[in-house]
Amino acid sequence: MTDERFMDLALSLGRRGLGSVWPNPAVGCVIVNGARIVGRGWTQPGGRPHAEVVALAQAGEAARGATAYVTLEPCSHHGQTPPCAVALISAGIARVVVALGDPDNRVNGRGIAMLRAAGIEVVTGLGEAEARADQVGFLSRVERGRPMVTLKLAASLDGRIATATGESQWITGPEARRQVHAERMIHDAVMVGAGTARADDPSLTVRGLGARRQPVRVVLSRHLDIPLDSVLARTAKEVPVWLIHGDRAPDGVVAAWEGLGARCIAVPVVLGRIDVAAALAALGAAGLTRVFCEGGGGLAASLLAEGLVDEYVGFTAGIALGAEGWPSIAAMGVGALADAPRLELVELRAIGGDVLHRWRAGPS
């Protein structure tokens, strides 16, 4: 096997951690001695142990003289455990192939420098584009101070997410809904606006896929007017609920939610709405790297208007709801076409009786 194939394997191992390792990146590591794979590792739930530590433990003595393939620069800082660069050196690794540098200011080139200083041959940049795509959430947290955002909307042919009476369950079929759970699982958090939380009384958990760590449930609610007997309220002690509220939400309601186990985070209100950029900055500061937003139309519009959507995944069903239905994207104040956010199609397929379409924002 070639360097490329081993790095591909490391990249696919690393992806296993997506959604369960925040605030850390989901890294993969493969250790190869001769032509034999002697260790495989990926970042463990909660972010530790790091991928290299897992792979080295598996390799044992066979790590001596071996090559390590790592999807992110090995760390050089002393956390709760010694740095991975030191672990690789002590294990007698002879060569390290790294896909992408780690921008964390505790690392940022020092990991690679430590390996080289110890006489280890280091090759960089192999698989960099794939690694960058997998690390988009971690890179966003470190470099932009906010998590990456995937916006998901399940809509009718005419782009409606509910009927005039707010009925939305179910517009799409079971296959699309199952896919939504798979998408939730590779994100750190699932986020909705207060209107959706009130209308659907959702649980926002991952079900049926054996998730090892449930995503945090985030609700944006200016007045914190979500029923205290909702599913989210009743389950806040089992799976985290974080409420982003306006700075004037009543203290009593904040205390009541905190009593139920929710985390309440106040952010400024701008023109009568929660400042979504400030909300995302707060989520980034709290460690989230990948957020999956499931509407509603108001939150979708705010995120799009502010250029905060990195990926959009749409599910379109063969049902028409008409203009009385709730729009998937509310008013955005777009005048000229040139001012409208435009995304690039990256995936299109049938899923059950529905259509999945995925779009990415251009580089910002």
Q: Binding partner of residue 107 among Zn ion, ligand AOF, none, CB under 5 to 8 Å per kind?
A: ligand AOF
Give the Cα separation of 185 and 213 in Å (integer).
8
Residue 262's SS3 state is coil
Of 39 and 195, which CB lies nearer to ligand AOF in the complex structure? 39
Least distance (Å) between residue 215 CB and ligand AOF: 18
Of 127 and 246, which CB lies nearer to ligand AOF in the complex structure? 127
Give me the half-sphere count of Cα atoms (radius 13 Å) on the Cβ side of residue 169.
Answer: 5
Of 43 and 221, which CB lies nearer to ligand AOF in the complex structure? 43
Strands 148-155 and 290-293: parallel
Which residues are registered as beta bridge partners of 218?
Answer: 191, 242
Least distance (Å) between residue 187 CB and Zn ion: 23
Q: Binding partner of residue 48 among ligand AOF, Zn ion, none, CB under 5 to 8 Å per kind?
A: ligand AOF
Least distance (Å) between residue 133 CB and ligand AOF: 17
Known binding-site positions: 50, 75, 84, 154, 168, 170, 184, 196, 200, 204, 207, 294, 296-302
Chain residues binding ligand AOF by CB under 6 A are: 24-25, 27, 43, 47-48, 50-52, 72, 74-75, 79, 84, 102, 104, 107
Of 74 and 246, which CB lies nearer to ligand AOF in the complex structure? 74
Of 53 and 197, which CB lies nearer to Zn ion in the complex structure? 53
Asked if 69 and 94 touch (Cβ cutoff 8 Å), the reply is: no
Chain residues binding Zn ion by CB under 5 A are: 50, 75, 84
Least distance (Å) between residue 28 CB and Zn ion: 12
Q: Binding partner of residue 354 among ligand AOF, Zn ion, none, CB under 5 to 8 Å per kind?
A: none
Q: What number of residues does the chain have?
A: 364
- Residue environment code for 175-204, b if the CB has 16+ CB neighbours within 10 A, otherwise e: ebbebbeebbbbbbbbbbbbbbbbbbebbb
Give the Cα separation of 237 and 279 in Å (integer).
22
Which residue of the set 52, 73, 130, 311 is catalytic?
52
Q: Binding partner of residue 27 among ligand AOF, Zn ion, none, CB under 5 to 8 Å per kind?
A: ligand AOF
Least distance (Å) between residue 153 CB and Zn ion: 37
Instruction: Give counts: helices (H), strands (E), the chain.
Output: 12, 18
Of 58 and 205, which CB lies nearer to Zn ion in the complex structure? 58
Residue 52 is a catalytic residue = yes
Known binding-site positions for Zn(2+): 50, 75, 84
Asked if 128 and 102 touch (Cβ cutoff 8 Å), the reply is: no
Give the Cα separation of 175 and 221 in Å (integer).
30
What secondary structure does DSSP assign to 2-25, as a single string? -HHHHHHHHHHHHHTTTTTSTTS-
DSSP letter, residue 208: S
Structure tokens at 331: 């008013």
Least distance (Å) between residue 78 CB and ligand AOF: 8
Work out the angle at residue 262's Cα, subtended by the Cα atoms of residues 258 and 265, and round it to the nearest 5 degrees: 85
Q: Binding partner of residue 82 among Zn ion, ligand AOF, none, CB under 5 to 8 Å per kind?
A: none
Asked if 6 and 38 touch (Cβ cutoff 8 Å), the reply is: no
Q: Binding partner of residue 19 among Zn ion, ligand AOF, none, CB under 5 to 8 Å per kind?
A: none
Which residues are catalytic, by number? 52
